[in-house]
Chains A and B, each alone.
Chain A
């Protein structure tokens, strides 16, 4: 008899408690929508992750792009929290097509470039040149062929 009443009480409590719209945990849906961007895409670092910034609309050549990249973030970008690991001395550079990829000769040591810096350079290059793999060379060092990583 006692057990019966306890069960009834629990059921009642459940009913009363579960009424109405309850707060929930985070529900995950599909992938975030994607829009288009217009402008030249540069890759800087934000929060330890590669992040894209847009600078201007005019098309640039690869040499210019890399030079701009090496110049680092703009004051507005810095204010927004962007950084760059691309060393300033990667220019002058020479960009050429080799095979089905892009060859980028840098004036700096390619092996000592950090991963993030590499990603920055490769992604920025691929933003201009398309999805072909990019190889970084310097004197006798080669790094690549590399591709810009695909995020989620």
Chain B
């Protein structure tokens, strides 16, 4: 049945319909058959008995071979009403509406065996009963012997046909009614089953969409109720587990945020003096100088990492906020490049007049990260293009380096992901693109990474222009 794609309702309908039809067909068919047999039998028996009675009360036969008159006399006695008769003696016959050649061959052959025989056949399209019998004579010794006279009677069964047709019509209409009833019952049964099923289906879908508080109504105590009960138990367990997981995740995030926050204080003290170390490092002898520079550098790296972590945890906690202003995007990008001394290393196409409602600090972070990555990991020439497309500001940073390997491209925005694991730590912890992406999303925009032909990577930032003051 599964290959047919019928729903539950369809299958129930079909089953009920088949059941109804089959049962009705059987019952009606059998009753019809029985009734038909009875009707016919009654008609036949009556006709036969009537004929036999008349034949046995015929006037005695006076001539054998009989004369034409004698045969005619018999024929006219036997034939009455719509019945046609024929009386046959050897090759001669007398007819009262019946030509013996119309009679079925089988019947004529059977008559010779000395019993009353009858047969139904179709005469001019109407069902007709043909009765045939010998006329025997009683012998003084008690036996009987055939006279050689055969009497045939045709009794039309049109009336019986009519009654039977009425019976058939009744059977058919009963069948139709039962089919309708079966369909109605099926629909009713289907509804009774389908309603809880579709309710369960809706609950399951809601659960799948994320509403873990969904519960199904448990009605009654049948299998469906059992399923609904199990569903509820599962949903509850799921809700609890997801709640657990969320709590654990929130705890973990809070831990990261707390730790990062705590790291700030010692870092503040260390950061304040890195410049001092850098300046003094030249005057320190040998390794001491290197040590001083090392500490200074790593302190700055650590401070940056902690800042990145705090930024990320703000995104995760949902507490990151935009502080937007109408920004001349070209000027902002130019400023970002200038600040870091990249103006000469980057080819920028920054048309004037593009103003968008953006957070300038976050824009700066994104641009700095993308261009920094292009310069460090991509290859010259690095290009920055700015344009507006359909109400979106598009900033494209492209390089002509080796491009992104397929597995790298899928994970490049992941946290702590570094494409080349042998890369030195001085180039960051791998949070830059993750933060850039979150900053883009915070604006309601997107950041995507692709390869361009023949080689090189392209990072495209798209943010809405905003358009309100």
Contact = CB atoms under 8 A, between A and B. Distances in A.
Whether chains A and B associate is yes
Interface of A: 1, 4, 8, 11-12, 14-15, 18-39, 46, 51-54, 57, 76-77, 79-82, 126-127, 130-131, 148, 150-152
B137 interface: yes
Q: Is the interface of B mostly helix, strand, loop or mixed?
A: mixed
B33 interface: yes
Interface in B75-91: 89-91
Given A21-B164, A26-B107, A8 B55 contact: no
Contacts of B138: 34-37
A38 B118 contact: no
Interface in B99-146: 104, 106-107, 110, 113-122, 127, 133-146
Given A20-B168, A24-B119, A29-B116, A34 B56 contact: yes
Given A32-B134, A77-B65, A80-B90, A151 B114 contact: yes
A120 to B, nearest CB: 13
Interface stretch (B18-26, B228-236, B279-287, B383-391): B18-26
B393 to A, nearest CB: 61
24 contacts: A4-B18, A14-B29, A15-B25, A19-B164, A19-B168, A21-B157, A24-B119, A26-B104, A26-B110, A28-B117, A29-B48, A29-B115, A33-B52, A33-B116, A35-B135, A35-B136, A36-B138, A46-B90, A52-B64, A54-B64, A82-B65, A131-B141, A150-B141, A150-B143
Contact of B62 (A33, A39, A127): A39
B5 to A, nearest CB: 11
A32 B165 CA distance: 33
B161 interface: yes
Given A20-B164, A39-B62, A54-B61, A8 B90 contact: no
Given A26-B117, A35-B147, A152-B114, 4 more contacts: A20-B127, A33-B53, A35-B135, A80-B89
Contacts of A11: 22, 25, 29
Contacts of B168: 19-20
A25 B120 CA distance: 7
A14 B110 CA distance: 30
Given A21-B157, A37-B61, A131-B140, A81 B91 contact: yes
Contacts of A46: 90, 148
Contacts of B18: 4, 8
B194 to A, nearest CB: 21
Given A35-B135, A36-B60, A148-B141, A80 B118 contact: no
B406 to A, nearest CB: 48
B352 interface: no
B69 to A, nearest CB: 14
Q: How large is the interface on B (under 10, 10 to 19, 20 to 34, 35 or more residues)?
A: 35 or more
Contacts of A79: 65
Contacts of A32: 114-116, 133-136, 144, 146
Interface of B: 1, 4, 18, 21-22, 25, 29, 33, 36, 40, 44, 48, 52-53, 55-65, 89-92, 104, 106-107, 110, 113-122, 127, 133-148, 157, 160-161, 164-165, 168
Nearest to B51: A33
A21 B55 contact: no
Contacts of A130: 140-141
Contacts of B120: 21-24
A1 B4 contact: yes
Contacts of B65: 53, 76-77, 79-80, 82
Contacts of B110: 26, 28
B164 A37 contact: no
A79 to B, nearest CB: 8
A38 B61 contact: yes
When A and B form their complex, which 4 residue pairs have the shortest distance between CB atoms, in order from nearest? A152-B114, A131-B141, A21-B127, A33-B56
A34 B144 contact: yes
A138 B21 CA distance: 81
Nearest to A38: B60
Nearest to B169: A19
A79 B54 CA distance: 29
A35 B157 CA distance: 28
B136 A34 contact: yes
B371 to A, nearest CB: 67
Given A21-B157, A24-B119, A29-B118, A53 B64 contact: yes
B18 to A, nearest CB: 6
A37 B60 contact: yes
B188 to A, nearest CB: 22
Contact of A81 (B29, B90, B119, B146): B90
A152 B143 CA distance: 9
Contacts of A52: 64, 137, 145, 147-148
A111 to B, nearest CB: 26
A48 B127 CA distance: 36
A35 B137 contact: yes
A31 B114 contact: yes
